[in-house]
Structure 1
């Protein structure tokens, strides 16, 4: 292991834990869990934002604490441990916020980052399309440059986005020109989702967290909404994918589901072999955790993520999440997984819900097959 938390980072963790376990936040957590399966945690985010904790890696001038992505990851980990929905936060601050930090102009940073840091605005990712899924080189959505007006008109259809219904912006990838390479000619825009011409519809999903379709029919945005340079969106997207594929979002789910299984089973383990299997899973979780933080630490040091290492981390964490859930169902049985008499579902969710969600983790942010292809190209040599 070549990663250790510093004293300051451990102190930051303790501060986060103390705030997340206050009566005010825990009461709000219980209320949003009861209100809707597809939880809306924005009230909690605003409390974190008031304390400057929602985006700790942002510069202080934009509402952060001048810390690193390590602290941002610690926040996500502890939110999950406390039963607070973290998906919208990961999309808004950890992924899109860092894309803006890395690729936006100063005026764009001044516009967007304070809103994301205080929890008043949230954002989602609009990449995938019906015919092409995660193959961003084949995007068909288009943005047409209205040069005389200083605006773009966007047309297209995006699918399988998360938390779109409670997001204020969508970071959208579109084609702005036809280049010889399909990876050229792409551009990114921050689109206000309340714009005229935006239609958002829910897509039926097995998961408790809904997926959404977004249709953009001539949505007009000014040229200041473009993140990065025109036709150079692929380089910006790669930065976003690097942060998205650290494995963090997948590890915290695997850990949450393991806690649900282990807490229930620890006083009722029938055999020594079962205890050994659970111990092996715990070791795998430790490996996933340190691999995730290694990827993030590399990003802090170099300003970029090792693409093959992030692919390994994402692959390992998402497949491990599935393994954890399957073991839970093997131990508990289907009927037991549908019931909850211990109060754990209210905090962590249920194994039945996890069973429906887990397979999707091996698809989002790039399928396991795509991760294996990346690893084979960059790590395996003849």
Structure 2
């Protein structure tokens, strides 16, 4: 990016923004937005976005995309969030599982799974995290045992989002146990309606619900092995780096700060002190820096340069910033605004409940710091 966009990119952004501000899209987005612990079904909204060709603009045309650049896809992602579109389906289905299929899927897998995703007719979730392994995928215990031409997967996955609505799960499981912490891991595309799959809700305070997925000898065809057998860890490493652009967390932070300012203006703007104005200025400065970090990562990925350290920095900074803004903004609405349940107040309450998970998903802040520290140690040792 280098701090600017081309004229074509700006025209594209304007067209996308105009489409997303239509009455039809805005009504569908409002109906899909959770509040007060209630999570609506966002699939009708995504079917509409699929009809408008806005879900997978950077995918090849033969898979349902529009053949545009990754930069254009990031522009769409920005405008989706700014238009009030809940982004979890897009992040999980398109940016993670869809990207995995593009990166490592067979031609048959791409032809089968990608076009329905592009049309907003099929949705996916990620089945990595386990109760005892947490964010350390090297500690996963789910096992995929060979069964004729396919496999049977047994294990438990936790903390996946939108799982009760999805059709497909990208599941990490051990195909060769006992070969080492990060060896013998394979990736599978699991039919979430298959016998042996049980999805239950994990109690929480967020408007989006986490789920537990129990897999009891679930039959998976050999054709649903994604990438080479036992080579899941290198693929996961590369995909996680692509996932950690920080853009989605940045957009949440931006939206939450805007809601805080809206609450201030609607409340008692004359009571805004110099100290509060200074803090708002600091937040805007941090957001500007955060935006540059995210787009530097996106620009690198678009040029086939995946920098593990840069992605760790972007993910750490953006998720910590979003969480900090949410905590700071929680006390801004006045008692009267809280009683009236204004739009800004509802957004900030939801943000406060969602924020703790941001520093955990896609790798905890501690893991990001470890990646950075390892890089500094390597530089210090002259490697």
CA contact (8 A) 1:57 1:72 kept: yes
Aligned equivalent of 2:238: 239
CA contact (8 A) 2:142 2:174 kept: yes
Instruction: Tell which deviates more after alignment, 362-371 or 321-330.
Output: 321-330
**2:379 corresponds to 1:378:** no
1:253 Cα deviation (Å)? 1.1
Instruction: Tell which deviates more after alignment, 229-238 or 71-80.
Output: 71-80
- Per-residue CA deviation, residues 204-235 of structure 1 (Å, 9 max, x unaligned), is 01211100000010110111111100000011
- Per-residue CA deviation, residues 246-304 of structure 1 (Å, 9 max, x unaligned), is 112211111111110012224445212211210110111111112111111100102x5
Aligned equivalent of 1:9: 9
1:379 Cα deviation (Å)? 3.7
SS state at 1:125 partner: strand
CA contact (8 A) 1:122 1:168 kept: yes
**Pairwise CA RMSD:** 1.9
Aligned residues: 375
- When residues 24 and 3 of structure 1 are mapped into structure 2, their CA distance, relative to the original with a 3 A threshold, is same
Distance across 2 between alignment mates of 1:310 and 1:340: 41
Aligned equivalent of 1:367: 364
Distance across 2 between alignment mates of 1:337 and 1:222: 54
Distance across 2 between alignment mates of 1:102 and 1:195: 25
1:51 Cα deviation (Å)? 2.4
**2:352 corresponds to 1:355:** yes
Superposition pairs for residues 139-154 of structure 1, below 5 Å? 139-146=140-147, 149-154=148-153
1:343 Cα deviation (Å)? 3.3
Q: What are structure 2's unaligned runs of at least 5 residues?
A: none
- When residues 203 and 268 of structure 1 are mapped into structure 2, their CA distance, relative to the original with a 3 A threshold, is farther
CA contact (8 A) 2:51 2:119 kept: yes
Distance across 1 between alignment mates of 2:338 and 2:324: 19
1:352 Cα deviation (Å)? 2.0
1:313 Cα deviation (Å)? 0.4
Q: Extract structure 1 runs of 4+ deviating beyond 6 A.
A: none
Distance across 1 between alignment mates of 2:3 and 2:109: 34
Superposition pairs for residues 236-315 of structure 1, below 5 Å? 236-266=235-265, 267-268=269-270, 270-302=272-304, 304-315=305-316
Distance across 2 between alignment mates of 1:338 and 1:310: 37
CA contact (8 A) 1:56 1:71 kept: yes
Distance across 1 between alignment mates of 2:27 and 2:232: 42
- When residues 238 and 340 of structure 1 are mapped into structure 2, their CA distance, relative to the original with a 3 A threshold, is farther
> So what's the TM-score if we normalise by structure 1?
0.93
**2:199 corresponds to 1:200:** yes
Distance across 1 between alignment mates of 2:142 and 2:136: 13
- When residues 106 and 337 of structure 1 are mapped into structure 2, their CA distance, relative to the original with a 3 A threshold, is farther
- When residues 106 and 189 of structure 1 are mapped into structure 2, their CA distance, relative to the original with a 3 A threshold, is same
- When residues 34 and 200 of structure 1 are mapped into structure 2, their CA distance, relative to the original with a 3 A threshold, is closer
Aligned equivalent of 1:86: 87
Distance across 2 between alignment mates of 1:33 and 1:122: 17
Distance across 2 between alignment mates of 1:69 and 1:88: 18
Q: What are structure 1's unaligned runs of at least 5 residues?
A: none
Aligned equivalent of 1:161: 160
Superposition pairs for residues 158-197 of structure 1, below 5 Å? 158-197=157-196
SS state at 1:350 partner: helix
1:109 Cα deviation (Å)? 0.9
CA contact (8 A) 2:20 2:80 kept: yes
